[in-house]
Structure 1
């Protein structure tokens, strides 16, 4: 497996993001969808990484949006057939390390309560539950989490 910063605007990566959307959209009402669009993934303050298998196929992705006071994890996804092999854990650690090179030591995220595997991944990685942050409001479908890393 290889992880690197890449453009989201590639056919195989767009297919990965579409697969993520197809998975999440039926789980929650529209007002509880907080993903960012593909164009936003190309902004200068966004670190977008893609995990590829040995054959070069896109199997996972994730982003950190660098804000002034924290980085927000977005668009974390690993194809279901590839899960259970540590790809999400490696992708998360890689993104955090890359964000630290940009001076980011506080990480936040919002995920859905119907995604226990994602919540467990974040908890194992040191994230703790917290209330809404940034522009988020209270949402019974959302789980908000935070992690701080010493600089």
Structure 2
């Protein structure tokens, strides 16, 4: 049985999942199109982080970085390939969205890459729509920017 639980950016299992995501993205995109952030560099009050546990192992993670204006950015969503195809991505995104709503977030944005077809499909299925680049990003032909309204602003 899978469980989604609170996490911190300094937990070894979260660090390992993020490292696996970094390796995957580094193989797909050049450095200038990789927007890899260190979740541990953000204040705990502005970070929502969840991980998916299967038995005793972390098999997925995702984060939301809250902005003072009520918007937020989803980052570091990753499911171990051995555990994909079980709607874990949808459940993780729903958990992150609910946590963001609970913190007063009205709009959730994300950046993903054009080669991450499964991720784009997942986000679209969860109600995210393509939009133009948002700060701090610039337009990038290798990036796809998406957004979902969670609450009325």
TM-score category of the 2 structures, normalised to the smaller one: over 0.9
Cα displacement (A) at 1:5: 1.6
TM-score (norm 2): 0.93
Q: What is the correspondence of 1:1-150 to structure 2 with a 5 Å cutoff?
A: 1-40=2-41, 43-53=44-54, 55-67=55-67, 68-150=69-151
Where 1:51 maps in the other structure, the secondary structure is strand
2: CA distance between counterparts of 1:144 and 1:38? 20
Matched residues, number: 150
Q: Note the aligned Cα RMSD (angstroms).
A: 1.2
Contact 2:74 2:109 in 1 (8 A): yes
User: Over residues 79-135 of structure 1, what are the superposed CA-to-partner deviations in whole Å (9 max), with x where a residue is unaligned?
Assistant: 001000011110000000011001102110000000000000000000000000011
**Unpaired segments ≥5 residues, structure 2:** none
1:41–1:5 CA distance, 2 compared to 1 (3 A): farther
Match of 1:52, SS?
Answer: strand
CA distance in 1, matches of 2:93, 2:42: 16
Moved beyond 3 Å, runs of 4+: none
Unpaired segments of 5 or more residues in structure 1?
A: none
Structure 1 residue 42 displacement after superposition = 5.4
